[in-house]
């Protein structure tokens, strides 16, 4: 992995972990990737920028943006479906999913509170 791609992932992880705001992450990304000829970093930056553009255009909430950026970062994210219910699980620890065993019988539909 290139040095800039690693740095992009580091900053993305900081945003996803709440260490920096979306505005801070966006400013860093734009100022550090606009003129780089590293193909790996350019591809990663482009994937992030597309999601940011859609968010800024009003397509998603920030929570939805975060969900989409998990996959860009390359950290595990799993959605389990059972009938009309689903459970999403994301982690910053790549080994956690291997240690977590979920059976469909463990999934209960979300309860609505009035």
pLDDT at 75: 53
Distance, in Å, from the CA atom of 15 to the CA atom of 69, rounded to the nearest integer, reads 10
3-state percent breakdown (helix, strand, coil) of the chain, nearest 5: 55, 10, 35
Q: Are 73 and 90 in contact (CB under 8 A)?
A: no
Instruction: Kindly state the DSSP code that residue 90 receives in the 8-state scheme.
Output: E
Please indicate, yes or no, whether residues 18 and 39 belong to a single structural domain of this protein: yes
Q: Say how many domains are in the chain.
A: 2
pLDDT at 73: 72
Tokens at 104, concatenated: 């469909």
pLDDT band at 2 (very low <50, low <70, confident <90, very high): confident
Please indicate, yes or no, whether residues 68 and 83 belong to a single structural domain of this protein: no
Query: Higher pLDDT residue, 95 or 82?
Result: 82
Q: Which domain holds residue 89?
A: 77-106
pLDDT exceeds 70 at position 49: yes
Does 27 reside within a domain?
Answer: yes
Q: According to the 3-state scheme, what is the secondary structure of 23-52?
A: HHHHHHHHHHHCCCCCHHHHHHHHHHHHHH
Does 114 reside within a domain?
Answer: no
Please indicate, yes or no, whether residues 13 and 68 belong to a single structural domain of this protein: yes
Please indicate, yes or no, whether residues 33 and 65 belong to a single structural domain of this protein: yes
pLDDT at 68: 92
Distance, in Å, from the CA atom of 21 to the CA atom of 18, rounded to the nearest integer, reads 7
Please indicate, yes or no, whether residues 24 and 61 belong to a single structural domain of this protein: yes
Query: Higher pLDDT residue, 30 or 37?
Result: 30
Please indicate, yes or no, whether residues 9 and 65 belong to a single structural domain of this protein: yes
Provide, rounded to the nearest whole percent, the portion of the chain with pLDDT above 70: 62
Alpha-carbon radius of gyration of the chain: 17
Does 94 reside within a domain?
Answer: yes
């Amino acid at each position: 992995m290139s040095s800039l791609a690693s740095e992009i992932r580091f900053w993305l992880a900081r945003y996803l972990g709440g260490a920096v705001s979306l505005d801070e992450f966006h400013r860093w990304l734009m100022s550090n990737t606009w003129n780089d000829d590293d193909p790996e970093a350019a591809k990663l930056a482009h994937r992030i920028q597309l999601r940011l553009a859609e968010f800024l255009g009003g397509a998603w909430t920030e929570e939805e943006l975060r969900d989409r950026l998990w996959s860009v970062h390359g950290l595990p994210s799993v959605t389990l479906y059972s009938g009309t219910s689903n459970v999403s699980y994301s982690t910053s620890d790549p080994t956690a999913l291997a240690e977590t065993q979920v059976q469909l019988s463990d999934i209960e539909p979300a309860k609505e509170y009035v």
